[in-house]
A and B are shown apart, each in its own frame.
Chain A
Amino acid sequence: MDVYTGLMEAMNSEYELVRRLREGERGSVSVVLHARSGRRYILRLFPGCGDGCRRLLSLSCPHLPLIYEVCEHGGSTAVLEEYVQGDTLSYILECGPLPAREARDIALQLCRALWALHSVGAVHRDIKPGNVIMRGDEAVLVDFDALRVYKCGQDGDTRALGTVGYAAPEQYGICQSDPRSDIYSLGVLLNVMLTGRHPSQAPAGGSLGRVVQRCTMTNPRKRYRDVLRLMEALS
């Protein structure tokens, strides 16, 4: 029996479906509950390969959900990951922008999450407030639907993914998204935390505004080269 079949059988017999979060052509995302322990998990099912998620199996980072299992069968992939409890950043921002210090701290934590992703050659590609859960004071970057492995020298991603407004210009299929695409999106997110709006509408001022500006340069080569340099700028 392969891993996928074993997992699905266990899902059917030992887990309950709590809630379907999303279902569509990109697959489904559900909250499932282990009947005996009561512990919750996120189960993702999607077409294609799970290369990106598989690289996260052996990692632990406080700002990324733990990936418990990644398995494939017949062109589909199943990912079982940690269910992170908390409010999304988008919900929190409904009450208004954040103080600069808090926005900076969240951005730094997300940089650590990105460092972990980028260190295994993965690019998140969909960084936005809805994909950040505040577990107390800890920001956790979730939703790896758009996650992709970055391959040097490869032409364009097969599909344009990400959320309009947060997606870097290169994510609209013109050239391959790379770690600097995540830096772009994080820059937009930082601006939204500071002003409540996209940098093109309400650019943040001060030193953090300059950080946003550099993150969101149209030309990826003019952005921070990697999240380490971004972290230094934020620090």
Chain B
Amino acid sequence: MSKKCVNCGAELPGGAAFCPHCEASQIERRPVRPPRPWRKRAAAAAAALLLLAALAAAALWLVPGRGHQPAAYTGGAELIYPGEDGEYRLFLCFDWPCIEDGISQDLAVVELAADSELFKPSLFSAQFADSGEDAREEFCSLLESCTVEALPLGGGEPMEAAPPAWDEAFPQAALASGVTFHGGCGDNEVRWTLEMKNGDVLTLSHTVSSVLLREVVYTPEDAPMDTLSELSDLLRHIESEVDGGAVVSLYLPPVTYSGGLELSGRAVNLYGGTDGERRTTFTGTLTIASESPQPCTVEGIAFAGSGGSGLSATASAFVTGCEFSGWDVGAESLEGSWLIVSGCAFSANGVGLLFDSLHSRYSSDVCPGNSFTDNGVGLRVVSLPGSGGFALDNCLFSGNGTDIEAPEGLLDSSGARFE
């Protein structure tokens, strides 16, 4: 379908907005302007009214006998508190991304093996209720004292809640309290009691639930796992067939897996085996990128490489009794992870063990019993989550180009031996 130009009459396609011959527009345009800033005027008027009201209220305070009547405010994981200068939104959570996003968390369910102990942070923060902006400083200036208790629910065993304090590991939280418990101890209410300078008492609480992990074990007798292909097939089978609530442990045969393996999805524990001289060995990179909050365990496995990384993690893992040799980087703990390494041997690598992570669900204050020999750099720490470091108790450093590269004061090497 065609039309004629509104200006010169030239033949134009039906949908043309412009005549390229006479340069005339064929459509009407509407000017777009943002609305007038009524909000500023309204806000100014409201502020003026508020000031008048505040002056009136202040005048009342001068009358003998008048004063603030302390009150109690009780909430769950969230509470709106009417402060003198405006409302505060107070909230509790467990995870640092929720602090950043201002999301409260009522419940944390942790699946844990019976003989495991875990520390879960209970985090408190404050925002201005109207704008959602950070109000930690303003609120804490009104705070007299704060306590945290862990109260068993429904027959659970008591957990231990540390006194609340500002924690550099969670810089966005006003206060943090570490809650420690073991697997299967049941539910506890984590109750925060805040006493304000004006006598008000605020109570917030959320729940930690510790449930026992069910373990599913695979041995070479249960499923073929002599080759990387069989191992990969088994992992795929596990991902689709085993329910997500179970922890899966693979006891590997003493074979050499030529190539790398990736653990994504659920956390899977890998235990290496030995038979005389033979032991479970990987010649390619083991990548730990599990989406599960549960850290996995890698134990008793040799990683023999020629370049690249032996173990590369973006999810936390316990690495125990393993050997890393011949890699550019023996084991690396990258963003999102903390490798809890103990009793491992790092030899003839470019870098034996590397930490370069700013955030992780887990941390450890020890890295004990490891040996670093003949590496270019034995241990390199670029960054660690939070502010804490770890102690190198009973670690041996020998024959390395550089034993340790780390920010000053981060690591405690007083228990290590240097030859």
Contacts and interface: CB of A to CB of B under 8 A. Distances in A.
Contacts of B25: 68
Nearest to B33: A112
Contacts of B34: 111-112, 115, 227-228, 231
Most buried by B among A57, A69, A232: A69
Interface string B29-41: 1111111010110
B31 A3 contact: no
Main secondary structure of the interface of B (DSSP, over half): loop
B318 interface: no
Nearest to B15: A3
Interface string B17-32: 1101101010111111
B263 interface: no
Contacts of B37: 228, 231-232, 235
B102 to A, nearest CB: 8
B12 interface: yes
A39 interface: yes
B100 interface: yes
Contact of A7 (B20, B31, B100): B20
Nearest to A67: B17
A115 B17 contact: no
B16 interface: yes
B100 A219 contact: yes
Contact of B13 (A1, A68, A112): A1
A11 B13 contact: no
Interface residues of A, number: 37
A183 interface: no
B23 A37 contact: yes
Interface stretch (A58-66, A152-160, A191-199): A58-66
A230 B22 CA distance: 41
A112 to B, nearest CB: 6
A149 interface: no
B101 interface: yes
B21 A14 contact: yes
Interface in A59-96: 59-61, 66, 68-71, 80
A10 interface: yes
Interface residues of B, number: 27
B71 to A, nearest CB: 31
B129 to A, nearest CB: 15
A2 interface: yes
Interface string A167-202: 000000000000000000000000000000000000
Interface in A1-16: 1-3, 5-7, 10-11, 14-15
B9 to A, nearest CB: 15
Most buried by A among B18, B39, B101: B18
A2 B12 CA distance: 9
B20 A57 contact: no
A61 B20 contact: no
Nearest to A59: B32
A174 to B, nearest CB: 13
A101 interface: no
A34 interface: yes
Contact of A235 (B12, B29, B40, B132): B40
B16 A69 contact: yes
A39 B18 CA distance: 14
A116 interface: yes
Contact of A14 (B18, B20, B30, B33): B20
Interface of B: 2, 12-13, 15-18, 20-21, 23, 25, 27-35, 37, 39-40, 100-102, 132
